[in-house]
Amino acid sequence: MTTTYPLHAPFSPADAPFPDQADVVIAGAGIMGCAAAYYLARRGVKAVVLDKSRIAGQQSTRAWGFVRQQGREAAEVPLMMAGMRIWEQLERELNFDLEWRQGGCLYVADNDEDWASFQQWMDVAKQYGLDTRVLDRAQIDQHVRGMHGKALGGLYTATDGQAEPRRVAAAFAARAVEAGARFFEGCGVVAIERGAGSVTGVVTERGTIRTRQVICAAGASSWRLLKTLGITLPQQAVRGTCMRTNPLPAVTASTFWGHGLGIRQRANGAINLADDMQVDVDMTFGHFRALKWFLPELWAQREKFSFHLNGEFVRDLRDRLPGAVSGGERVLHPRDPNPQPNRAHAPKALQKLRALFPALKDAQVVESWAGLIDVLPDGIPVLDEASSFSSSSSSSSKAAGLLVATGFCGHGFAMGPIVGHLMAEWICDGQPSLDLSEFRLQRFFDGTMKRPRSML
Ligand SMILES: Cc1cc2nc3c(=O)[nH]c(=O)nc-3n(C[C@H](O)[C@H](O)[C@H](O)COP(=O)(O)OP(=O)(O)OC[C@H]3O[C@@H](n4cnc5c(N)ncnc54)[C@H](O)[C@@H]3O)c2cc1C
């Protein structure tokens, strides 16, 4: 019998003794931090995981739940192919129901531009021997029931899958705790300390922990934490909206993108629905930071972004007043963002859904939410050790013992297990088993950053 939902519970009570030293400290208990803690624990390393808010309160429970290799930047494909091997046995390994379903991923092109990009992406699939195929209309209809509307062709990867984001990070955390990891919620890391080029500890809201090994997995706030070491990370956040419908007749076991819709149908028939890959940017003065890296792609992909001047701008302005937010608190700010969904998405998405699948005429949105997606200018994360950072990325350069896993650009839920696994290898074996050179931070500073197919 697998354990059932809901999984979340505070893993260390507020009065639990707080450590003053640890083998490894992980800043951030999203899926990256939780998975890393689990794989470390399996290797006998008992990490202390600190979250300024709570376990998986941000992106990792707000994702759509696509677990795909398809359509990624080439650099990510070998990583995700290795990641799929973990996903395929993850429910059994963690002994939790994660709503895992390996039903494939289907993209449908209704215009020439998408169709051309699908065909181009086949070069990436062939390069790595991935099982992606291009489909004609008849083949598409084998994977979606009763789809109306134009289809020039499809892109389909049978080994892709899906899982429920509200379950996975917490399952990793629960099993990590059983194996000796300790989680402290409501305890932010305010600074990383360094001596003689190596990490010596972390300053937290509950005191300093001496450690020689830190993983920065602080999602959209990672840039703030790295800044305490003088390390520049060109990271920004955009707001993504997702909706969930009532249970509906089954139309597909694949994750689906096409006709301006992203769809994942859960086992009970409810559909996680997104209005295309549209995101909102709530403008603040903070958006001028790192702008030079983002401008080319913001312009090239401008149809994906809606810019707003709203309450976020006022809040940001207020917070910048002298004394409004104290030094340490500024690193953690905002502590527990709860971005609101863009309400304009639901009617548009429902209309498209009903037109595309007439059998779903009774679809209603029963829940909608948003998450702050952390983006980097080239659409792929930073997975790196700070001992290799050179002076161009950091005024004070190296910090041996610091690993960085952040900037997943809206597709890191799927990467959580493999990234956690690789971080644990890096610490236990001295290096990861896959080549991560494409994910160096230094690419932003040495001219090797590549233009992405998509920033998200
Ligand atoms: C609407 C939406 C849809 C998405 N859909 C998909 C999808 O279908 N498939 C997919 O693969 N990915 C998807 N993603 C992306 C995916 O959710 C993220 O890439 C992934 O969850 C990132 O995990 P993380 O652990 O890096 O960050 P997070 O989950 O954001 O966790 C970071 C944690 O760090 C904590 N923290 C921050 N600063 C500090 C500090 N100083 N000290 C201590 N703790 C700190 C935060 O409180 C937070 O809990 C989606 C994201 C969104 C928002």
pLDDT along the chain (456 residues), means of 10: 48 84 98 98 98 96 98 97 98 98 98 95 97 97 96 98 97 97 96 94 97 98 94 95 97 97 96 90 87 88 89 87 83 91 94 97 97 96 86 63 97 98 98 97 94 85
> How many domains does the structure of the chain reveal?
1
What is the DSSP secondary structure assignment for residue 111, as one 8-state letter?
Answer: S
Expressed in angstroms and rounded, the spacing between residue 170 Cα and the centre of ligand 1 is 13
Give the residue whose CA is nearest to atom 37 of ligand 1. 218
Ligand 1 atom closest to the CA of 371, numbered from 1: 53
Q: List all residues 6 or more positions away from 369 whose beta carbon is below 8 Å from its beta carbon.
A: 62, 241, 242, 341
Widest CA span in the chain: 65
User: Rounded to an integer, what distance in angstroms lies between the CA atom of residue 390 and that of residue 387?
Assistant: 8
Asked if 381 and 439 count as a contact pair (C-beta separation under 8 A), the reply is yes
pLDDT for 395 equals 46
Ligand 1, atom nearest to 57 Cα: 49
Is 10 part of any domain? no
Q: Is 167 left (phi over 0), alpha (psi -120 to 50) or beta?
A: alpha
Cβ count within 10 A of residue 93 = 14
Nearest residue by C-alpha to atom 35 in ligand 1: 28
CB 37 within 8 A of CB 172: yes
In a domain, 73, yes or no: yes
CA of 397 to the centre of ligand 1 (A): 26
Q: Atom of ligand 1 at shortest distance to CA of 34? A: 25
Ligand 1 centroid – CA 373 distance (Å): 7
Distance of CA 98 to the CA centre of its chain: 17
Model pLDDT, residue 397: 60
The residue whose CA is least distant from atom 50 of ligand 1 is: 63
In a domain, 216, yes or no: yes
How many angstroms does the Cα of residue 367 sit away from the middle of ligand 1?
A: 20
Using an 8 Å Cβ cutoff, are 251 and 147 in contact?
yes
Of the candidates 208, 215, 164, the residue with the CA atom closest to the CA atom of residue 47: 215
Distances in whole angstroms, Cα of residue 181 to Cα of each of 34, 56, 110, 311, 323: 10, 16, 48, 39, 37
Ligand 1 center from residue 58 Cα (angstroms): 5
Q: What is the pTM of this model?
A: 0.96
C-alpha to C-alpha distance for 226 and 294, rounded to whole angstroms = 19
Q: Dihedrals φ, ψ of 242, to 5°?
A: -135, 150
Distance 387 CA to ligand 1 centre (A): 25
Residue 150 lies in a domain: yes
Domain assignment of residue 456, yes or no: no
Question: If phi over 0 gives left and psi between -120 and 50 gives alpha, with beta otherwise, what is residue 401?
Answer: left
What is the enclosing helix (H) or strand (E) of 222?
helix 222-227
Q: Residue 279 in contact with residue 371, Cβ under 8 Å?
A: no
Going by CA atoms, what residue is nearest to atom 31 of ligand 1? 30
Residue 257, pLDDT score: 97
Assess if residue 329 is contained within a domain.
yes
Q: In whole angstroms, what is the distance from residue 409 CA to residue 148 CA?
A: 31
Predicted local confidence at residue 393, as pLDDT: 55
SS3 breakdown of the chain: % helix, strand, coil, rounded to 5?
Answer: 35, 25, 45
Domain assignment present for residue 124? The answer is: yes
Pocket test residue of 39, 53, 58 for ligand 1, highest count of atoms within 8 A of CB: 58
Residue nearest to atom 18 of ligand 1 (CA): 412
Q: What pLDDT score does 2 carry? A: 42
**Could you tell which of 38, 60, 243, 423 is best to mutate to test the pocket of ligand 1, judged by most ligand atoms within 8 Å of the CB?**
60
Interatomic CA distance for residues 105 and 117, integer angstroms = 16
Probe target for ligand 1 pocket from 66, 261, 264, 413, with the most ligand atoms within 8 Å of CB: 413
Ligand 1 mean position to 302 CA, how many Å?
23
Question: Could you tell me the distance, in angstroms and rounded to a whole number, from the CA of residue 116 to the centre of ligand 1?
Answer: 31
Looking at the domain assignment, is residue 11 inside a domain?
no
For residue 372, what is the domain's CATH number?
Answer: 3.50.50.60
Pocket of ligand 1, beta carbon within 6 A: 27-33, 50-53, 56-60, 62-66, 188-189, 217-221, 225, 240, 242, 331-332, 371, 373, 406, 408, 410-414
Give the domain extent around 91.
Answer: 25-444
